[in-house]
C-alpha cells in the first residue's frame, strides 16, 4: 500500500498527493479513486528539479 503525501502549500480542495517509491504515483485529492498517474522515480525527480527553478 503506497504512503501518500500532500504538500503543505496546498489546501484541502486544490491539491495532489504523491506516493514516492521505485515508481511515483500521483493522484488528485478531489477524486482519489479516479486513478493515478504512475511515473518512474527518475522522471518524478527530474520534474521536481525543473519546477524548483
d(CA 29, CA 46): 23
- pLDDT tens digit sequence for 10-29: 777 788 899 999 999 999 98
Residue 37, C-alpha cell as written in the block: 498517474
What per-residue confidence (pLDDT) applies to 24? Answer: 96
Instruction: Kindly report the pTM of this predicted structure.
Output: 0.78
- Domain residues for 44? 5-51
What per-residue confidence (pLDDT) applies to 9? Answer: 80
List alpha helices for the chain, DSSP H: 41-51
8 A C-beta contact, residue 3 and residue 17: no
Q: What percent of the chain has pLDDT over 90?
A: 58
> Looking at the 3D structure of the chain, how many domains does it have?
1
8 A C-beta contact, residue 36 and residue 44: no
Amino acid at each position: 500500500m503506497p504512503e501518500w503525501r500532500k504538500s503543505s502549500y496546498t489546501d484541502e480542495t486544490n491539491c495532489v498527493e504523491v506516493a514516492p517509491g521505485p515508481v511515483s504515483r500521483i493522484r488528485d485529492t478531489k477524486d482519489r479513486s479516479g486513478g493515478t498517474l504512475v511515473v518512474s522515480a527518475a522522471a518524478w525527480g527530474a520534474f521536481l528539479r525543473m519546477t524548483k527553478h
